[in-house]
């Protein structure tokens, strides 16, 4: 079954005009995992592939590819966090498909201006019968994030989850946001406008993509809300990336 298995997980939201927007998507084919999101023009933002042998590939709209060796996908025993994406931008014009034996979709109403993320985990046989419960006992879900506002209540709100309980390994997706209480208590100046940078993260590294000039940069995650300086990733984009249509 493992070599033939398939899972399609999608997160969508309703746009102001009543149409659907694609927030995030992942596909598992055999033991090859592909996950990421599209920007407003249909280009892939922080697309990650994770394979049977543990090789991973990380793509950006500017064409940069970064690789990292991880636990082989077939050998994940407990749980492993793969990557996290922010929920913006949203690719408009998505056509919602009904759930099936291999497809699951999370549909949520937009959460407003509060920062939110889509976290992807893989869960092996030691994660228990319900890997979702195992994942939700991990930080940042069971406690406030270390960089959350210290004077506020625990700052993470779970919006929804998806699980591919028919695959091996299983995929667990958690959509979470800064809680309303923590957002109301945010420090002054946090709403000051800044550059539009789309972000994703893995481990202690955060990646940012500037859609204006195609710059891709990274920095180490530090205490919120003061970010570490960005470091440009080379090579610089040589030409404008070509749009890709939503799948």
pLDDT, one tens digit per residue, over 159-210 is 999 999 999 999 999 999 888 877 877 776 656 555 567 778 877 777 888 8
Q: What is the DSSP letter of 132?
A: H
Cα 139 to chain center, whole Å? Answer: 16
Q: For residues 33 and 30, what is the distance between their CA atoms, to the nearest angstrom?
A: 8
Q: For residues 6 and 33, what is the distance between their CA atoms, to the nearest angstrom?
A: 10
Asked if 170 and 164 touch (Cβ cutoff 8 Å), the reply is yes
Q: Answer whether residue 223 shows pLDDT above 50.
A: no
Residue 118 banded pLDDT, cuts 50, 70, 90: very high
Residue 23 banded pLDDT, cuts 50, 70, 90: very high
Per-residue DSSP letters for 80-102? Answer: EEEEEEE--S-EEEE------SS
Locus of tokens 């003061």: 226
* Cα-based torsion angle of the residue sequence 3, 5, 11, 14 in order, rounded to the nearest 10 degrees: 130
- For the chain, give every domain's residue range: 6-184
Tokens of 208: 């940012």
pLDDT in tens, 40-84: 878 788 889 999 999 998 888 777 777 788 999 989 999 999 999
Tokens of 198: 């789309």
Asked if 127 and 170 touch (Cβ cutoff 8 Å), the reply is yes
Asked if 47 and 36 touch (Cβ cutoff 8 Å), the reply is yes
Asked if 210 and 201 touch (Cβ cutoff 8 Å), the reply is no
Tokens of 33: 């995992």
pLDDT in tens, 141-152: 875 444 444 444
This prediction's pTM: 0.83
Q: For residues 36 and 136, what is the distance between their CA atoms, to the nearest angstrom?
A: 21
């Amino acid at each position: 079954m493992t070599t033939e298995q398939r899972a399609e997980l999608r997160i969508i939201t309703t746009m102001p005009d009543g149409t659907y927007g694609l927030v995030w998507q992942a596909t598992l084919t055999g033991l090859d995992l592909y996950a990421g999101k599209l920007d407003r023009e249909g280009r892939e933002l922080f697309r990650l592939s994770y394979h049977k042998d543990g090789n991973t590939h990380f793509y950006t709209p500017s064409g940069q590819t970064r690789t990292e060796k991880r636990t082989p996908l077939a050998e994940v025993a407990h749980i492993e966090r793969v990557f996290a994406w922010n929920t913006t931008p949203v690719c408009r014009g998505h056509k919602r498909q009904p759930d099936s034996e291999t497809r699951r979709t999370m549909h949520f109403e937009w959460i407003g201006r509060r920062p939110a993320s889509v976290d992807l985990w893989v869960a092996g046989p030691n994660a228990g019968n319900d890997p979702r419960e195992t994942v939700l006992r991990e930080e940042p879900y069971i406690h406030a994030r270390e960089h959350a506002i210290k004077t506020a209540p625990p700052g993470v709100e779970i919006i929804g989850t998806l699980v591919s309980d028919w695959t091996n390994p299983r995929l667990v997706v958690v959509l979470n946001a800064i809680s309303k209480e923590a957002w109301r208590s945010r420090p002054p100046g946090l709403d000051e406008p800044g550059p539009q940078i789309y972000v994703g993260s893995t481990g202690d590294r955060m990646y940012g993509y500037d859609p204006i000039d195609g710059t891709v940069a990274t920095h180490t995650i530090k205490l919120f809300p003061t970010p570490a300086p960005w470091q440009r990733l080379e090579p610089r984009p040589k030409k404008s990336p070509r749009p890709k249509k939503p799948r």
